[in-house]
Amino acid sequence: MKKLLIGLLLIASTCVEAQQFIVADLESRVPLRDVLVHTDDNQDTRTIWDGTFLLKDGFNRISFSHPLYEKRYVLKSELKGDTIFLLPKMNTLREVVIYGERRFDKRMAEMMKPSPQQVERDKLPKVIPPGPDVLAIALWIFENTLGKKIEKRKHRKNELKKVRQKEAEYQQRWDSLEGK
């Protein structure tokens, strides 16, 4: 009985209070696995399958990095709750390889020159036949397909700009803390 009591006291004395956090995608709210987590007091960890990780107390700043998401820094004072959201990178390529020469552009320019018949045809007046308004139909299709995607892209760009401004503010705060 004494050994059990002594063992429990040793375990209780060595336990340090730890906090559990979750990392998730900002758009889909899905937990992210394999996100690298680093703190200013040199705690390094990686999120598991459900996006969770544990950190011991004593840190002031946490950094998150993942190849498919924007890098993010969070100060401990700014943590509200246990979930941290990462913004996905859009339109990024990991590697670009170009082979060959640019002779193709010269050939295409020669092929795209209008023929004398096309020049004569372009001089003739164009008559719009009666019938359905093809331009209006094309605009309606554009607005209902690509137009929504363009609006979403603009919204994402504005949100990313806001996030980067916040990160710059956090970086200035962090730099001022290190300067003390």
**Does the residue 63 lie in any domain?**
yes
Average pLDDT over residues 28-51: 93
**Does the residue 138 lie in any domain?**
no
Q: Which residue has the higher pLDDT, 163 or 15?
A: 163
**Does the residue 18 lie in any domain?**
yes
For residue 26, give its domain range. Answer: 13-124
**Does the residue 5 lie in any domain?**
no
The tens digit of pLDDT for each residue in 91-143 reads: 666 567 777 666 666 777 777 777 777 777 777 777 666 778 778 888 888 88
The tens digit of pLDDT for each residue in 147-158 reads: 888 888 999 999
Average pLDDT over residues 2-16: 53
pLDDT greater than 70 at residue 51: yes
CA-to-CA distance for 76 and 145, rounded, in angstroms? 42
Q: Is residue 160 a contact partner of residue 70, using CB atoms and an 8 Å limit?
A: yes
pLDDT greater than 60 at residue 86: yes
- Rounded to two decimals, the pTM is 0.44
pLDDT > 90 fraction of the chain, expressed in percent and rounded: 36
**Does the residue 57 lie in any domain?**
yes
Q: Is residue 16 a contact partner of residue 57, using CB atoms and an 8 Å limit?
A: yes
Start-to-end C-alpha separation, the chain: 51
pLDDT greater than 70 at residue 173: yes
**Does the residue 45 lie in any domain?**
yes
CA-to-CA distance for 174 and 167, rounded, in angstroms? 10
**Does the residue 171 lie in any domain?**
no
Q: Is residue 35 a contact partner of residue 24, using CB atoms and an 8 Å limit?
A: no
- pLDDT at residue 140, as a whole number: 86
Q: Is residue 50 a contact partner of residue 86, using CB atoms and an 8 Å limit?
A: no
Q: Is residue 35 a contact partner of residue 23, using CB atoms and an 8 Å limit?
A: yes
**Residue 37 class from Cβ within 10 Å (0-12 exposed, 13-18 middle, 19+ buried)?**
buried
**Does the residue 110 lie in any domain?**
yes
Domains identified in the chain, total number:
1
Kindly report the CATH number assigned to the domain that includes residue 110. Answer: 2.60.40.1120
